[in-house]
C-alpha cells in the first residue's frame, strides 16, 4: 500500500506547492495584515497589532457598508442576466447550422478583449456629447442627450451593461460545454416517443445542464463580487460614490491611501463573502449531482 501511495504524493506536491504559494499564502498574509494598523505614508506609526479593530471599524464604516450594498446589487443584477443570456447563446450555438464554428469564435470576442479596453469603449459609448448610446436614442437632438456616467442613478447601470456585454459569453462557454455532454441518443429516443422541442428542453436539456448552469452562476457571482477594472476606468467610484463597489474601495484604501491594515481587512471581507457564496452554491450544486448519481 505504502509503495503505491508514495509516488502519488510526489506527483501531487507541485500542485500543492502552487496552491500554497499563490493562493493560501496571500490569503493568510492578507488576514495577518488586517490585524495590524499600518499606514505606509506614516512609517513612524510602525506596524501596530490592533486585533480585530480594523474589522470593527469596517462594520461601522458607512462608506464600506454602502459599497458592500453596491457590490451586492451589482451581483444580484448582472449574474442572473448573464447566465440567462449565456444560456440563450449556448442553446443557439449548440444547433447545427452553417457558420457555427465561426459564430462560436465571434461570440467569445467580448470576453477575450481586455477589460480595460472594454471599459474605455463603453465610456465612449456612454459619452454625453458624442456617444453612440445617445445617438441611437436621440439622433441629432443633442439637447436631449443623457450623461449616464454623470448620473448617480444611472452610472452603476451603465457599468452593469458593460459587464453583461462582456461576460455573458463566458457563461455561454460553460453552458455550451454542458450541452455538448448530453448524448444525442436521448433526443432521438425522445423524438421517437413523440416529444416536442419544449418537452425535450424541459425533460432532457434542463436537468442535464443544471450542473453547468450552477457552475456558470458560481463563477459569475464571484467575479461580479470582485468587479474592479470597469469601475476603475469608467467612473473611479463616482458620481456621488454611486459606483464605489467594495473591491474598489478596498483598492483605494490599500493602494492609494496606503492604509494597508484596513485595506487588507476589506480584502479579507470580500474573500469571506465570496467563500460563503461559493459554499452555498457548491452545496446546491453538490446535492444536484448526488441526486443524479442515485437516479443512474
Partner 1 sequence: MPKFLIPAILFSLFFSSRAPAQTELRFVTWTSESAKVWAEIIADFEAAHPGVKVVQEVGPSSSTEFHDLVTQKLRNRDPQMDVFFMDVVWPAEFAAAGWALPLDNFFPPAEQKQFLDAPILANRYGGHIYGVPVFVDAGMLYYRKDLLEKYGFAPPRAWPELVQQAKTILARERDPYLTGYSAQFKQYEGLICNMMEFILSNGATLWDERSMRSTLQHADAKEAVRFVRDEIVGAIAHRGVLAYQESESLALFTQGRAIFHRNWPYAWEVANDARQSKIAGRVGVMPLPAFPGHKSASTLGGWQLAISRFSRRPELAWQFVQFMTSSAMQKRISLSMGRAPARAALYRDPEILRRYPQFESQYQTLVRAVPRPRTPVYLPLANIMQRYFSSAIALRDSDIDGLARSAARDMDRVLDLLRDRSAR
Binding site for partner 1 (CB under 8 A): 39-45, 62-63, 127-129, 141-143, 145, 147, 149-152, 232, 235-242, 244, 252, 255-259
Closest by Cα among 100, 220, 243, 115 to 168: 220
Would you say 121 or 150 has its CB closer to partner 1?
Answer: 150
Would you say 45 or 112 has its CB closer to partner 1?
Answer: 45
User: Smallest gap, in angstroms, from Cβ of residue 239 to partner 1?
Assistant: 4
Would you say 15 or 60 has its CB closer to partner 1?
Answer: 60
Is the Cβ–Cβ distance between 255 and 143 less than 8 Å?
Answer: no
User: Smallest gap, in angstroms, from Cβ of residue 217 to partner 1?
Assistant: 31
Would you say 15 or 41 has its CB closer to partner 1?
Answer: 41
3-state helix, strand, coil in the chain (%, to 5): 75, 0, 20
For residue 162, whether the previous peptide bond is cis, meaning omega lies within 30 degrees of 0, is: no
User: Smallest gap, in angstroms, from Cβ of residue 251 to partner 1?
Assistant: 8
Closest by Cα among 7, 232, 265 to 123: 232
C-alpha to C-alpha distance for 201 and 67, rounded to whole angstroms: 40
In sequence order, the 6+-apart residues with CB closer than 8 A to the CB of 266 are 58, 64, 246, 249, 250, 253, 254
Q: DSSP strand E in the chain: where?
A: 36-37, 48-49
Would you say 152 or 191 has its CB closer to partner 1?
Answer: 152
User: Smallest gap, in angstroms, from Cβ of residue 25 to partner 1?
Assistant: 17
User: Smallest gap, in angstroms, from Cβ of residue 233 to partner 1?
Assistant: 9
C-alpha to C-alpha distance for 123 and 149, rounded to whole angstroms: 8
Would you say 65 or 272 has its CB closer to partner 1?
Answer: 65
User: Smallest gap, in angstroms, from Cβ of residue 142 to partner 1?
Assistant: 6
Amino acid at each position: 500500500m505504502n509503495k503505491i501511495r508514495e509516488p502519488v504524493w510526489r506527483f501531487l506536491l507541485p500542485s500543492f506547492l502552487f496552491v500554497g504559494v499563490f493562493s493560501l499564502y496571500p490569503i493568510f498574509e492578507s488576514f495577518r495584515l488586517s490585524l495590524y494598523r499600518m499606514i505606509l505614508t506614516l512609517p513612524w506609526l510602525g506596524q501596530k497589532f490592533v486585533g480585530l479593530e480594523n474589522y470593527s471599524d469596517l462594520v461601522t464604516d458607512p462608506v464600506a457598508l454602502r459599497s458592500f450594498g453596491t457590490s451586492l446589487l451589482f451581483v444580484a443584477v448582472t449574474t442572473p442576466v448573464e447566465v440567462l443570456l449565456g444560456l440563450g447563446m449556448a442553446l443557439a450555438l449548440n444547433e447545427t447550422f452553417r457558420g457555427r464554428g465561426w459564430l462560436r469564435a465571434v461570440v467569445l470576442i467580448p470576453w477575450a478583449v481586455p477589460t480595460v479596453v472594454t471599459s474605455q469603449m463603453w465610456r465612449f459609448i456612454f459619452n454625453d456629447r458624442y456617444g453612440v448610446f445617445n445617438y441611437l436614442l436621440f439622433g441629432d437632438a443633442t439637447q436631449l442627450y443623457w450623461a449616464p456616467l454623470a448620473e448617480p442613478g444611472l452610472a452603476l447601470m451603465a457599468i452593469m451593461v458593460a459587464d453583461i456585454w462582456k461576460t455573458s459569453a463566458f457563461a455561454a462557454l460553460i453552458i455550451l460545454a454542458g450541452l455538448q455532454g448530453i448524448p444525442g441518443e436521448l433526443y432521438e429516443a425522445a423524438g421517437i416517443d413523440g416529444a416536442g422541442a419544449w418537452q425535450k428542453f424541459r425533460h432532457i436539456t434542463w436537468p442535464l445542464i443544471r450542473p453547468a448552469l450552477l457552475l456558470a452562476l458560481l463563477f459569475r457571482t464571484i467575479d461580479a463580487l470582485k468587479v474592479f477594472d470597469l469601475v476603475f476606468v469608467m467612473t473611479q467610484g463616482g458620481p456621488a460614490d454611486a459606483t464605489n463597489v467594495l473591491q474598489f474601495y478596498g483598492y483605494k484604501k490599500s493602494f492609494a491611501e496606503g492604509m494597508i491594515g484596513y485595506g487588507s481587512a476589506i480584502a479579507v471581507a470580500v474573500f469571506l463573502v465570496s467563500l460563503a457564496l461559493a459554499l452555498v452554491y457548491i452545496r446546491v450544486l453538490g446535492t444536484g449531482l448526488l441526486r443524479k448519481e442515485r437516479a443512474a
